[in-house]
């Protein structure tokens, strides 16, 4: 067996978590029942692990949170996000234990937002009742599509109607904040497939929808199928059209965009994700999780066995880190700020960037709203290109 090794974070990193602003804890659950063909996340099936041991993972996570809180002086968490992977595979009792460990070592602010992702097939009315009682305030359900052929192409295993039923069960249990994830642009998808998926999300009564264009990631089963010519490469013009369909339908239903890929009713924006996009600080716990202190980005070892081994030795399982330069931080501020509805403060831009911004305004890609620069509807379709042109 290979011995896992870790690196030490610089001593300067912890102090930055004490700066004013929200502090979040992200918990990565590395388990999935099967691997979806489009997914390149750090996840493992039971077969890949030789049998998953979620109790051992929870025990290792508790040790990481203990060590992290001691290192940082225990800032209280304003947001917690349990993602994956498939957190709902842990079951409600283990998810409750995860939150208990965060609460024990960091503490939670009085109005903390606590989210867990969930696969609809591994939930039930009792599951939602239990995690609500444990302190979770928000659930994000993976729907992706209601079209059987789209789900088959994505290798999703849930039935088309299960996400809507799960959302209704979560609402009946008492959850006020519910998200549904959609993917658009899958080969074989039609406009009608997408609109039926959006309508299903709305009929489920959720107050938040995230919609992402399908990206063919290297190393995935989907990428291999595209490379063999079994599936076409997603078309950019089709993607733009599908985005417009999603945006139009959601806005007509009272959900406005607050980030390029996210729509919500008033008060429904995901505060944890807003922390990422606005330069907040967070600790990433779990195999492969990333953290950020405002200057330093750091990440854990990926494999659950290596993660558990290091924590068994009471060693933070840090695999590496990078210190962002002032130019790096500026690039991220521009890139992330422009993706949000509130836009980017003009004062952030240097003279050359302001000049390029004026050209983008003339081209109808950006508009000036007071002292801020905001993407237009057309600009959202080309957000990445707008950012690149702005930065020169």
- pLDDT value of residue 257: 98
Q: Are residues 229 and 102 in the same domain?
A: yes
In a domain, 118, yes or no: yes
For 297, residues 6+ apart whose C-beta sits below 8 A from its C-beta are 290, 291, 321, 322, 324
In a domain, 306, yes or no: no
Q: At what angle do helices 92-105 and 54-72 cross, to 10 degrees?
A: 20
In a domain, 373, yes or no: yes
Q: Are residues 209 and 354 in the same domain?
A: no
Write the CATH number for 30: 3.20.20.70
Tokens, residue 239: 């993607």
66 SS3 class? helix
In a domain, 318, yes or no: no
Domains in the chain, number: 2
Q: Are residues 74 and 221 in the same domain?
A: yes
78 SS3 class? strand
Q: Are residues 263 and 332 in the same domain?
A: no
Q: Are residues 273 and 345 in the same domain?
A: no
In a domain, 314, yes or no: no
Q: Are residues 46 and 123 in the same domain?
A: yes
**Range with the poorest average pLDDT among 33-42, 147-156, 355-364:** 33-42
d(CA 289, CA 282): 11
In a domain, 70, yes or no: yes
pLDDT winner (highest mean) among 4-18, 34-48, 223-237? 223-237
| Domain closes at, from 216, 244, 278 | 278
What value does the mean pLDDT of the chain take? 93
Q: Are residues 96 and 198 in the same domain?
A: yes
pLDDT tens for each residue of 283-312 = 999 999 999 988 899 999 999 999 999 999
Helices (H) and strands (E) counted in the chain, each on its own, are 15, 15
Q: Are residues 216 and 329 in the same domain?
A: no
Rounded to an integer, the average pLDDT of 176-198 is 96
Whether 150 shows a pLDDT value over 60: the answer reads: yes
In a domain, 315, yes or no: no
Range of the domain at 264: 14-278
d(CA 99, CA 289): 17
Q: Are residues 338 and 271 in the same domain?
A: no
The alpha carbon of 306 is separated from its chain's Cα centroid by a whole number of angstroms, namely: 24
Q: Are residues 246 and 356 in the same domain?
A: no
Whether 46 shows a pLDDT value over 80: the answer reads: no
- pLDDT value of residue 1: 47
Write the CATH number for 340: 1.10.10.920
| Domain closes at, from 243, 278, 313 | 278
Q: Are residues 222 and 345 in the same domain?
A: no
Tokens, residue 79: 């947001």
In a domain, 236, yes or no: yes
Q: Are residues 205 and 270 in the same domain?
A: yes
96, 131 Cβ separation under 8 angstroms: yes
pLDDT tens for each residue of 249-275 = 999 999 999 999 999 999 999 999 999
């Amino acid at each position: 067996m290979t011995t896992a090794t870790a690196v030490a974070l610089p001593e300067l990193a912890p102090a930055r978590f004490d700066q004013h602003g929200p502090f979040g804890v992200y918990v990565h659950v590395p388990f999935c029942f099967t691997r979806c063909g489009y997914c390149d996340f750090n996840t493992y099936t039971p077969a890949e692990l030789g049998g998953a041991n979620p109790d051992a993972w929870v025990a290792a996570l508790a040790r990481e949170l203990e060590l992290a809180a001691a290192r940082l002086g225990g800032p209280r968490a304003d947001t917690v996000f349990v993602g994956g992977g498939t957190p709902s595979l842990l079951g409600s009792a283990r998810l409750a234990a995860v939150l208990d460990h965060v609460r024990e070592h960091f503490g939670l602010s009085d109005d903390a937002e606590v989210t867990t992702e969930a696969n609809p097939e591994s939930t039930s009315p009792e599951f939602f009742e239990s995690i609500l009682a444990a302190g979770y305030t928000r659930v994000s359900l993976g729907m992706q599509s209601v079209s059987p052929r789209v789900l088959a192409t994505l290798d999703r295993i849930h039935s088309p109607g299960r996400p809507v039923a799960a959302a209704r069960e979560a609402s009946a249990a008492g959850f006020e904040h519910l998200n549904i994830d959609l993917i658009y642009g899958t080969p074989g998808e039609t406009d009608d497939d997408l609109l039926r998926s959006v309508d299903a999300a709305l009929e489920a009564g959720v107050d938040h929808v995230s919609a992402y264009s399908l990206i063919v990631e290297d190393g995935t089963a989907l990428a291999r199928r595209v490379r063999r010519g079994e599936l076409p490469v997603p078309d950019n013009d089709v993607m733009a059209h599908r985005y417009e369909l999603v945006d139009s339908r959601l806005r007509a239903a009272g959900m406005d965009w607050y980030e390029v890929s996210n729509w919500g009713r008033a008060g429904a924006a995901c505060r944890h994700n807003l922390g990422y996009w606005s330069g907040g600080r967070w600790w990433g716990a779990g195999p492969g999780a990333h953290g950020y202190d405002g200057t330093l980005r750091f990440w854990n070892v990926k494999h659950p066995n290596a993660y558990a081994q290091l924590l068994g030795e009471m060693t933070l399982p840090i695999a590496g880190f990078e210190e962002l330069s002032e130019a790096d931080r500026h690039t991220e501020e521009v890139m992330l700020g422009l993706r949000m509805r509130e836009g980017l403060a003009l004062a952030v831009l240097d003279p050359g960037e302001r000049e390029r911004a004026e050209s983008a305004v003339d081209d109808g890609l950006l508009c000036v709203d007071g002292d801020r620069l905001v993407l237009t509807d057309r600009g959202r379709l080309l957000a990445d290109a707008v950012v690149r042109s702005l930065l020169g």
